[in-house]
Structure 1
Amino acid sequence: MGGNHSHKPPVFDENEEVNFDHFQILRAIGKGSFGKVCIVQKRDTKKMYAMKYMNKQKCIERDEVRNVFRELQIMQGLEHPFLVNLWYSFQDEEDMFMVVDLLLGGDLRYHLQQNVHFTEGTVKLYICELALALEYLQRYHIIHRDIKPDNILLDEHGHVHITDFNIATVVKGAERASSMAGTKPYMAPEVFQVYMDGGPGYSYPVDWWSLGITAYELLRGWRPYEIHSATPIDEILNMFKVERVHYSSTWCKGMVALLRKLLTKDPESRVSSLHDIQSVPYLADMNWDAVFEKALMPGFVPNKGRLNCDPTFELEEMILESKPLHKKKKRLAKNRSRDGTKDSCPLNGHLQQCLETVRKEFIVFNREKLRRQQGQGSQLLDTDSRGGGQAQSKLQDGCNNNLLTHTCTRGCSS
């Protein structure tokens, strides 16, 4: 019955808030620091996206809600060719959802693990594309703080896109960040220094140091310093003092000179802006308009015939996940029905209070609707014109960990 109409896409009221039912779940493709990622298709437009979903109760128990809110507040104000852009955010009783650009080329960490050899030409283009993204973030007063191969995704043509803003921070004017944040092997000397002696703080140059470490690793297959997550901070600072970075004799002088400028220990002398990097002789021949328009073809193009990620993510979702996404609709209906009976098992009061706060404070976002309202078509969004500047002002370093303090003044564990 009605089978002859099944090929027609469903029509949703354009004023209706986007929700889980608007998407078809296709497959799981990844696991973030505190969420899972799957490929989805929007039922009405047939457009494909990546959907990150984070269980509310787990986020509360692990004290990670602030990171989700931080990422949402930052990403709703951004749109750039070399970022992973946010399209929708919504929630239900169990989860918080972020729907973003789908990039099927895999992350650079995956390709390093697959022993891909990145040529100097390829890495040179990556540096330029990432420099444009970092300059854009700088314009919006954002320090990403976690630039590394794991957080750089490739599209199907091989262009790079920065993802994962959950530890990013916003600084205004001459303000500096002071909290310890990042992934140790990619963190700049001044971040460790602040932690050790409460130095002057740090700013945008930390992302350019991380870019230098990442570029070196892509070219060589390992990083310039033997730093791991367990390496003590005093040992790391001593390493920066006494160890010299070894550059391969096979690399051209221009690339070595550029890496030296990115890996300068003094942030005041480090290349840390688009103007700085455009002034480097090695990049003098670069057509920056062509870079921005993705008109230059990367030397490495991901394999289109395969999914560039670990296939075990799909198995985990199907076999190990206690609340799999594809069974959500039935599960929520069952829970709602049970809530009205004596069988319901109430959560402890504090956890319930935290869940209610998350529900109230969650930021719903719809870029498609926003574009319609503003009549901007595909133009870049002006953050301040729709309150993004106000949202970002809440995220000043040192204040960005207090999003739930008015109700959650102690650890939220069930």
Structure 2
Amino acid sequence: MGAVCCRSQPIDFDGEVNLFHFALLRCVGKGAFGKVRVVQHKQTRDLYALKYINKTKCVKMKAVPNVIQERRLLEEVDHPFIVNLRYAFQDDENCFFVLDLMLGGDLRFHLERLGSMPEETVRFYLAQLSSALSFLHEMGIMHRDLKPDNILLDERGNAHLTDFNIAVHFGERKLTGVAGSMAYMAPEILLKRGYTYSIDWWSLGVCGYELVFGRRPFRGRSNSDLTYSISRDPLKWPDDAEKKCSRSGMQVLKGLLERDPSKRFGCKPHGEGFQELRRHPWFKPIDWDTLDTKEQTPPFTPDANKANFDASHELEELLLEDNPLKAKARKANQENMSTEMRQMEEQFTSYDFKKMQRRSYYPHNQHLISTATATSSGLASSRPATPANDLRVENSGLRVEGDMRMDGGGGIMYNSNSIELNGREEITMKEVRVDPIHLEKDYP
């Protein structure tokens, strides 16, 4: 009299990548239709961040084109200071991104705790991020959402750019769609004059200013006030600016925050803008020859004894999740799919960085058009929203027209066909951010 032991099927690591290849560890982030958690590859034992997106919620929020576009853009990208895609796959319920795992927290996390950062630390981050931006622009890609929240540190303190949800290819024709996080938008976006990759260098300047001085250079209580400040107010320095930043450092920040894109640091064509930035006296302490190889010691090392993410995500996963993530075999019958589900099934293709060469889908990813005329999705932030944060009304043929205003809590109300953006219920083109974690032990 003995029970029959049901053994699990052996995992085929030579076959197409799927969720069975990974051990699911800690939940570290939550979005409107997906979560982020740490996973470990069962064969290689390597740790990654797994971002997974619920297909049904994605379709309901009309965000299918953005998810596919992000998947395609990430396949083109591989750089030392970018959170790179390693695997992509889907099952019947979710689409999965497996990304580099960052253990050091994002710069918003550290900025809120430190208040500001030393000039030499910010110089190091700007050097690394400018290298990443130069690479993207050479690939014909603009990020469009550079801000401290989207800059992650590894365990040693190197900075990496993440979140390509609204990144797009650019060409000779300028874009006009309003996209990005408003406080970091370049004036040419807000004034709807048409823009190209120069907007990323402006955002880098806003980030640098905020990291050094603990506040953004342009602010406003309302949408119109913020637009006016970004587009017209003179750049002002805090009273204690010279105690926190050298004159050459302020010169670089001023050059990045130049309203004329043709004169803005980093914006000269054919990579000359990046070379000009490298040659600036402020960057003299940076050894550019060894920067990309990460041989240099970062000036700030994240505390390895503390968790750099909101632990409530994991608690919620344990107590409240009614459909916990687990690996499931795919169903054989896929005939009765909606148009959007079929689009994800066909266009969110599998990727394995160890088996496939990266490729570009451009210009095809410019033409992913939803059946709806307005697209939106959401992000539940683990921290209070910063003023004028996370407005995304965007591209791929998708436009929303309407009036914007900021609410009293620092969010944005976007009135158009009952679409609202506010501090409590963001409805944006954003999905989930890859939050890093601190691992306290080795997992089996």
> TM tier, shorter chain?
0.7 to 0.9
Alignment correspondent of 2:140: 141
Q: Choose between structure 1 and 2: higher helix proportion.
A: 1
Q: Which runs of 5+ in 1 are unaligned?
A: 340-345, 372-380
Change (3 A) 1:24 1:66: same
Other-structure match for 2:207: 214
Give SS of 1:138's match: helix
Residue aligned with 2:39, SS: strand
Q: Distance in 1 between matches of 2:376 and 2:227?
A: 34
- Read off the aligned partner of 1:133 and give its amino acid letter: A
Q: Structure 1 pair 50/123, CA: closer, same or farther in 2 (3 Å)?
A: same
Q: Which runs of 4+ in 1 moved over 6 A?
A: 408-413
Q: What is the TM-score of this pair, normalised by structure 1?
A: 0.80
Give the deviation of 1:240 after TM superposition.
3.0
Structure 2: runs of 5+ lacking an equivalent: 267-272, 378-444
Residue 281 (structure 1) shift:
2.2
Is the CA contact 1:192–1:233 (under 8 Å) kept in the aligned structure 2?
A: no
1:132 aligned partner: 131
Structure 1 residues 274-301: Cα deviation after superposition (integer angstroms, max 9, x where no partner): 1231232212343211211112212111
CA–CA distance in 2 between the matches of 1:242 and 1:51? 42
Residue-by-residue CA offset, 1:204-251 (whole Å, 9 max, x unaligned): 1100111111111111111111147xx324651355313432241212
Q: Provide the residue aligned with 2:180 in structure 1.
A: 182
Percent identity over the alignment is 38
User: Paired residue for 1:264?
Assistant: 258
C-alpha distance in structure 2 between counterparts of 1:235 and 1:309, whole Å = 30
Instruction: Check whether the contact 1:28–1:39 (CA below 8 A) recurs between aligned residues.
Output: yes
The question of 1:236 aligning with 2:227 is answered: yes
Partner residue, 1:364:
350
Distance 1:146 1:255 in 2: 23
Deviation at 1:322, TM superposition (A): 2.9
1:193·1:237 contact (CA, 8 Å) conserved in 2? no
**Other-structure match for 2:300:** 300
Q: Per the alignment, in what secondary structure is the counterpart of residue 160 of structure 2? A: strand
1:3-402 pair list within 5 angstroms: 12-14=12-14, 16-32=15-31, 34-115=33-114, 117-172=116-171, 174-194=172-192, 199=193, 201-227=194-220, 231-233=222-224, 235-238=226-229, 240-247=231-238, 248-250=241-243, 251-272=245-266, 273-325=273-325, 328-329=326-327, 352-370=338-356, 383=359, 388=360, 391-396=361-366, 399=367, 401-402=368-369
How many residues in Structure 1 have an aligned counterpart in Structure 2?
360
The answer as to whether partners of 1:317 and 1:324 remain within 8 angstroms in 2 is yes
Q: Give distance in 1, aligned partners of 2:55 and 2:179.
A: 23
Q: What residue is the counterpart of 1:375 in the other structure?
A: none
CA distance in 1, matches of 2:293, 2:375: 47
Return the alpha-carbon distance in structure 2 between the equivalents of residues 267 and 118 of structure 1. 27
8 A Cα contact 1:184 1:227, kept in partner:
no
Shift of residue 178, structure 1, vs aligned partner: 1.5
Contact 2:63 2:376 in 1 (8 A): no
In structure 2, do the counterparts of structure 1 residues 239 and 106 end up closer, same or farther at CA, with 3 Å as the change threshold?
closer
TM-score normalized by structure 2? 0.75
Name the aligned partner's letter for residue 135 of structure 1.
S
Q: Is the 8 A contact 2:73 2:164 kept in 1?
A: yes
8 Å contact from structure 1 (residues 29, 311) kept in 2: yes
CA separation in 1, counterparts of 2:20 and 2:77?
A: 26
